[in-house]
């Protein structure tokens, strides 16, 4: 059952969130705005972040010189890895002009567009793979996001997504205290369950090949790293303190999620899951 975040999490609100917090994301998260994964527990934050990209690339089974679309590309970190290390021809889409400007300034071959994935205007049937790391939950129309992926892919092309999900049957307290505020503060119009995505993918013309719940890889550890970096920043930078915690910042409530999200991930109320599907 999906959780409703907020009626105001439309595209301009999501774009405004990432544009307004551009400096915060770059300084605290770096070029990858997604969770890390720890299989030994000894990985550095950079290695843990990289582990997610490697799993996505493996699940995408990229052919040589693959044409890849990075949906919700953020600062283009994944796009650059796929281009530089897998020889892919990559186009990334983000709603945030600040993210695209920074991504373009890094050079390399990927192209970055400030445009909604829901209105991407790519040609039909040319992509080998579509990847979407922690971006689809921001989108108001999930079926349209999936049908766009099906439209731009070649037959047999692959769609690999990683996203935030609600557990299949959260109780009232989990919904009220964890999932609804996480969706609201994170600008997620709806937080779906894995089975809802699997059904939508089927309807869009995909065959789901692999569903991997990342809970055993301790993604909640990411939030400890973010909280420590943020605390350091707030302790040493008065301007950052005024900006992030000041009443004029509509996104300051997101700071509360720093406690909620890891708790929800640890208990399995919130799930971070990769789904790999083939376009039939
Ligand atoms: C949490 S960030 C993830 C960024 C990137 N995938 C990464 O892993 O670093 C979410 C991204 O989704 C993008 N996004 C959200 N809704 C979108 C839409 N409708 N069209 C294109 N991008 C969208 C945001 O602009 C942002 O870049």
Angle at the Cα of 189 (from 183 to 194), degrees rounded to 5? 75
Determine the distance separating the centroid of ligand 1 and the alpha carbon of 74, expressed in angstroms. Answer: 5
For the stretch 224-260, pLDDT in tens is 999 999 888 888 888 777 777 776 666 666 667 788 9
Average of pLDDT values for 8-14?
85
Residues 6+ apart with CB under 8 A from 46: none
Residues 6+ apart with CB under 8 A from 157: 127, 128, 129, 130, 278, 279
Q: Which residue's alpha carbon is at the smallest distance from atom 10 of ligand 1?
A: 135
pLDDT of 70: 99
Q: Which residue's alpha carbon is at the smallest distance from atom 7 of ligand 1?
A: 33
Determine the distance separating the centroid of ligand 1 and the alpha carbon of 139, expressed in angstroms. Answer: 9
Q: Which residue's alpha carbon is at the smallest distance from atom 27 of ligand 1?
A: 74
List the domains of the chain with CATH numbers.
Answer: 3-279 (3.40.50.150)
Determine the distance separating the centroid of ligand 1 and the alpha carbon of 93, expressed in angstroms. Answer: 7
Worst-scoring range by mean pLDDT, 145-159, 180-194, 230-244? Answer: 230-244
Determine the distance separating the centroid of ligand 1 and the alpha carbon of 228, expressed in angstroms. Answer: 24
Pocket test for ligand 1, best of 21, 135, 149, 186 (most atoms within 8 A of CB): 135
Phi first, then psi: what are they for 269, rounded to 5°? Answer: -70, -40
What is the distance between the alpha carbons of residues 271 and 199, in angstroms, rounded to a whole number?
17
pLDDT of 151: 98
Determine the distance separating the centroid of ligand 1 and the alpha carbon of 78, expressed in angstroms. Answer: 12
**What is the CB neighbour count within 10 angstroms for residue 30?**
14
For the stretch 133-146, pLDDT in tens is 999 999 999 999 99
For the stretch 92-105, pLDDT in tens is 999 999 999 999 99
**What is the CB neighbour count within 10 angstroms for residue 258?**
15
pLDDT > 70 in the chain, percent: 95
CA-closest candidate to residue 70, choices 88, 89, 92, 97: 92
Question: Whole-structure pTM over 0.85, yes or no?
Answer: yes
Q: Is the pLDDT of residue 12 over 60?
A: yes
């Amino acid at each position: 059952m999906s959780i409703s975040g907020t009626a105001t999490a439309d595209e301009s609100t999501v774009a405004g969130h990432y544009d307004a917090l551009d400096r915060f994301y770059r300084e605290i998260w770096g070029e990858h705005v997604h969770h890390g994964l720890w299989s030994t527990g000894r990985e550095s934050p950079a290695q843990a972040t990289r582990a997610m990209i490697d799993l996505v690339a493996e699940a995408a089974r990229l052919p040589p010189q693959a044409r890849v679309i990075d949906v919700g590309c953020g600062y283009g970190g994944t796009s650059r890895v796929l281009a530089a290390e897998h020889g892919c021809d990559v186009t990334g889409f983000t709603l945030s002009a600040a993210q695209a400007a920074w991504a373009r300034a890094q050079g390399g071959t990927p192209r970055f567009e400030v445009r909604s994935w829901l209105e991407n205007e790519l040609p039909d049937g040319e992509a080998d793979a579509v990847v979407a790391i922690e971006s689809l939950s921001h989108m108001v129309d999930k079926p349209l996001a999936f049908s766009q992926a099906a439209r731009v892919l070649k037959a047999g092309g692959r769609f690999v997504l990683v996203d935030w999900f609600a557990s299949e049957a959260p109780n009232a307290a989990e919904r009220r205290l964890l999932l609804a505020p996480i969706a609201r503060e994170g600008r997620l119009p709806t937080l779906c369950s894995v089975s809802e995505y699997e059904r939508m993918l089927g309807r869009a013309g995909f065959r789901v090949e692999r569903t991997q719940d990342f809970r055993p890889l301790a993604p909640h550890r990411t939030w400890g790293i973010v909280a420590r970096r943020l605390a350091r920043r707030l302790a040493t930078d008065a301007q950052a303190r005024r900006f992030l915690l000041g009443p004029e910042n509509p996104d300051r409530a997101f700071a509360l999620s720093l406690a909620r999200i890891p708790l929800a991930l640890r208990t399995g109320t919130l799930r971070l899951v990769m789904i790999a599907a083939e376009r039939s």
